[in-house]
Structure 1
Amino acid sequence: MQPRISIITPSYNQGKFIRQTIESVLSQDYPNIEYIIVDALSTDETLPIVGEYKDRLTLIAERDSGQTDAINKGLRLATGDIVCWLNSDDYFLPGTLASVGDFFADNPDKLWLTGDCQIVDQAGRPIQQPVRHYKRLLRSLTPALYLGMTNAICQPSTFWRRSVHTQLGFLTESLHYTMDYDWWLRLQQLQPPAILPQPLTAFRIHADSKGGNQYGLQFDEDYQTFARYWAGTPIRWLHRLHNRAITSVYNLVK
């Protein structure tokens, strides 16, 4: 029997993208989904757009203390066997939930899985293909590389059993950039992720996204998050060196 999948979308003033996000969820060829949008009282066209789909999703519209708080609100409301979050500027590819549902139905011992993702620009055009291929290579190797040296997990392409929240609690709300990395490291303490090779989602980078204009602050928080879980000096040195190399590349291409 295919599991029920709950998708959480934290939302604030992404009206230019959220329709594509919603359509990508509701058009999935999968019979058992729960879709929850948690909006922080957007002031653009977001809420009227979401309202067009009110009979097919659950909308929570109220002030929050940030993206992580919004995600946690949705996770606490979720009733699905499998959960994930999909940001309001990203989107699922066709067939994603069928692949995820089949995997968990066939592998009852697996707690979480992650797949590949396309990296796209504001218009949905593929970008940063070398970055995508590099992270895909790392995920084919050891967790010490794709979770220790760096975070090579695609956030929108990652799904887990809701039951793990009984053991692990919810996302760390003091984190603004690396709440996903922190969550992966906590999940890793229970079990390494299953890796799916196919792309499941599109991760969008644009002028207003955190990944597009706040990468310096993101890397600072990234190292602080990493250091809470990895004690060995060699892997700490490797992680810091990797962050410096990536930051240098970003500075060159910006």
Structure 2
Amino acid sequence: MARRPRICVVTPSLDQAAWLGSTVESVLSQEGDFELAYRVQDGGSTDGSLELLDRYAGRLVLESGKDGGQADAVNRGLRAADADVVGWVNSDDLLRPGALARVAAAFRDDPGLLWVHGRCDIVDAADRPIRRWVAAYKDRRCRRYSYRSLLVENFVSQMTVFWRREAHERVGYLDAGLRYAFDYEFWLRLGALAPPRFIDAPQAAFRWYETSKSGASFERQFEEDWEAFRRHAPPGDRLLRWRKRARTAQIVGAYRLLRMLR
């Protein structure tokens, strides 16, 4: 990829006007040696999101209409993407300045690289950093990546992940039958082909609040997490299954404690 890479960012959204403007600005403000294509896949919002997006006419592609949920919306954007590198940023999350320039440089410098991820902050509804210890823990896990460690725990931050679009010819698209763990299940497919490169810089921010999917439904999320693990774990590896169960119990326990302390 000697020429300037073309990067497509997809944002799935449904009635997220409260956060959507910040997300869009964080994507469109990216600068660097790359071409940006930005697609917003709106599920038929009625909260003013479409009016907000009208302000960006000509700077992004908007598709609005009923879809089959978040994974289906992302898949629609990915299938339509005319780009070398793709990824998605949810409508309540943010890209950090310079994120796409670092992604472009990584793929340009290594023609064999399949996917990348990076550091991610956690912020609250007012964009204030929170749960720094969680972000630090994930950073440490990312630096010690192995496929087995990824099977045990999903430490990859979705909004930092970008991959070559051609990967879909090898691994397919997101499993729209999953509601919470479709990103993790996709990482496991990518990881089975090649390890990622970790970009040691703040690439994105994940917004955590009580009504977000992660904040409100983490028990169901980890049920799907186990299903994704079962699909890709080596059959008969009892030790790996024990490690997965133990780590999941620790994480769910921590989430429950945090919920009680709010």
Q: Do these two structures clear the TM 0.5 threshold for a shared fold by scoring above it?
A: yes
Question: Is structure 2 residue 257 aligned with structure 1 residue 252?
Answer: yes
Question: Is structure 2 residue 100 aligned with structure 1 residue 107?
Answer: no
Is the Cα–Cα contact under 8 Å of residues 160 and 204 in structure 2 kept in the other structure?
yes
Q: How far apart in 2 are the matches of 1:197 and 1:148?
A: 22
Q: Which amino acid aligns with 1:107?
A: D
1:192-211 → structure 2 map (5 Å cutoff)? 192-211=195-214
CA deviations over 1:209-244 (Å, ceiling 9, x no partner): 111110000011101111111132111111111111
CA deviations over 1:167-219 (Å, ceiling 9, x no partner): 11111110100110010000011101111111100111112211111000001
* Corresponding residue for residue 171 of structure 2: 168
1:90-105 → structure 2 map (5 Å cutoff)? 90-105=93-108
TM-score by length of 1: 0.97
Is the Cα–Cα contact under 8 Å of residues 6 and 83 in structure 1 kept in the other structure?
yes
Query: Alignment partner of 1:56: what SS?
Result: coil
* Corresponding residue for residue 62 of structure 1: 65
Q: 1:189/1:145 Cα in 2 relative to 1: closer, same or farther (>3 Å)?
A: closer
Q: Which moves more between the two structures, 25-34 or 113-122?
A: 25-34
* Corresponding residue for residue 222 of structure 2: 219
Q: How many aligned positions are there?
A: 254
Deviating runs (4+, > 3 A) in structure 1? Answer: none
Q: How far apart in 2 are the matches of 1:171 and 1:207?
A: 26
Q: How far apart in 2 are the matches of 1:102 and 1:96?
A: 10
* Corresponding residue for residue 248 of structure 2: 243
Query: Alignment partner of 1:252: what SS?
Result: helix
1:1-254 → structure 2 map (5 Å cutoff)? 1-30=3-32, 31-144=34-147, 146-231=149-234, 232-254=237-259
Q: Which runs of 5+ in 2 are unaligned?
A: none
Q: Which amino acid aligns with 2:242?
A: W
Q: Which amino acid aligns with 2:13?
A: S
Q: How far apart in 2 are the matches of 1:43 and 1:27?
A: 26
Is the Cα–Cα contact under 8 Å of residues 146 and 153 in structure 1 kept in the other structure?
no
TM-score by length of 2: 0.95
Identity of aligned residues (%): 41
Q: How far apart in 1 are the matches of 2:138 and 2:95?
A: 19
Query: Alignment partner of 2:220: what SS?
Result: helix
Is the Cα–Cα contact under 8 Å of residues 121 and 204 in structure 1 kept in the other structure?
yes
CA RMSD of aligned residues (A): 1.0
CA deviations over 1:28-83 (Å, ceiling 9, x no partner): 11351100000001110211111110210000001001000000000000011000
Q: How far apart in 2 are the matches of 1:51 and 1:165?
A: 31
Q: Which amino acid aligns with 1:13?
A: D
* Post-superposition offset of 1:163: 0.5
Q: Which amino acid aligns with 2:109?
A: D
Q: Which moves more between the two structures, 154-163 or 144-153?
A: 144-153
Is the Cα–Cα contact under 8 Å of residues 135 and 146 in structure 1 kept in the other structure?
no
Q: How far apart in 2 are the matches of 1:4 and 1:67?
A: 24
Q: How far apart in 2 are the matches of 1:146 and 1:37?
A: 33
Q: Which amino acid aligns with 1:148?
A: L
Q: How far apart in 1 are the matches of 2:147 and 2:240?
A: 8
Q: How far apart in 2 are the matches of 1:50 and 1:143?
A: 40
